[in-house]
Structure 1
Amino acid sequence: MASGVSSIYTGSDLIHDYICSKCEEDDDLDIEAQHFCPQCENYLCDKCVRVHGGYYKKHTVYGREDIQKWAMVSLDKCDQHGDKLSVHCDDHQEFCCSVCVALNHRLCSSISHLSDLAKGFLKIAEFKQLPAAVDNLRRRLDELRMQE
């Protein structure tokens, strides 16, 4: 899901916060996105939003004025195939969908179902300490911000 992260246009110092998903996917272009469709989970440039609007008339598309609604990156879908992530390849240390397993991880020796890995996770000490650690980091960031 490289579409939602910053990138640098090849051969230029131009940096985009969000890249048009369709331009990047279809033409390998880094065109700045001006719109986001949460139903499709795609960032869209002005050209692609017109095409999208023709196909998906009932989709709600957010512009730059609603950028706070753009942070809807799906963490449970495969970047390559769009399928739900269901397993973890322990050999490669990566999450995979069933298509990834069939194509790229057939010979791997250790593949774990995510539901099995998640069992007991809420009881792990590190997980229980996470809220306090986040609060501590937030306080530290606030302190640093005030020093500026």
Structure 2
Amino acid sequence: MASGFESLLHRGSDVEYEFCCDTCEEKDVNMEAQFYCEKCSKYYCNPCAGLHDQLYSKHVRWGRKDMKKWPVAKTAINKLKVCQIHSGEKLRVFCENHSQMLGTVCHIYSHQ
């Protein structure tokens, strides 16, 4: 469920939101999503949600109070695919002793 994730993650001076507005993201703008439209399968910030509503008045959108209906965040999925110790290293190996996915570097040096 999405409610178990932090609303934002800090990485250096950048802020990465758990749910980013898809329309803004296409324009390389980082805005936190406030709504999700199931019919469009997209997240929207407040300004973009207003435009969405003008074009698609019959679409039902869910706000933050209905986040349990939102799909899992893209950043949460991406976070699961990449090693948290060696940034950029993809998870490729499962360590049975520790029951966790590992990147190649962690596997070689820490989980022989």
Give me the CA root mean square deviation.
2.8
Unaligned runs of 5+ in 1: 1-5, 74-136, 138-148
Moved over 6 A (4+): 6-11
Q: Which residue of 2 aligns with 1:96?
A: none
8 Å Cα contact 2:9-2:18 kept in structure 1: no
User: How many pairs were matched up?
Assistant: 68
Instruction: Specify the SS of the correspondent of 1:30.
Output: coil
Higher strand share: 2
> Quick one: percent identity of the two aligned structures?
38
Q: Which residue of 2 aligns with 1:22?
A: 23
Unaligned runs of 5+ in 2: 1-6, 74-98, 100-112
Q: Which residue of 1 aligns with 2:39?
A: 39
8 Å Cα contact 1:9-1:30 kept in structure 2: no
Amino acid corresponding to residue 51 of structure 1 in structure 2: L
8 Å Cα contact 1:35-1:46 kept in structure 2: yes
Higher helix share: 1
Normalised to the residue count of structure 1, the TM-score between the two structures is 0.40
1:4-15 superposed matches below 5 A: 12-15=13-16
Larger radius of gyration: 1
Q: 1:9 to 1:54 in 2, by over 3 A?
A: farther
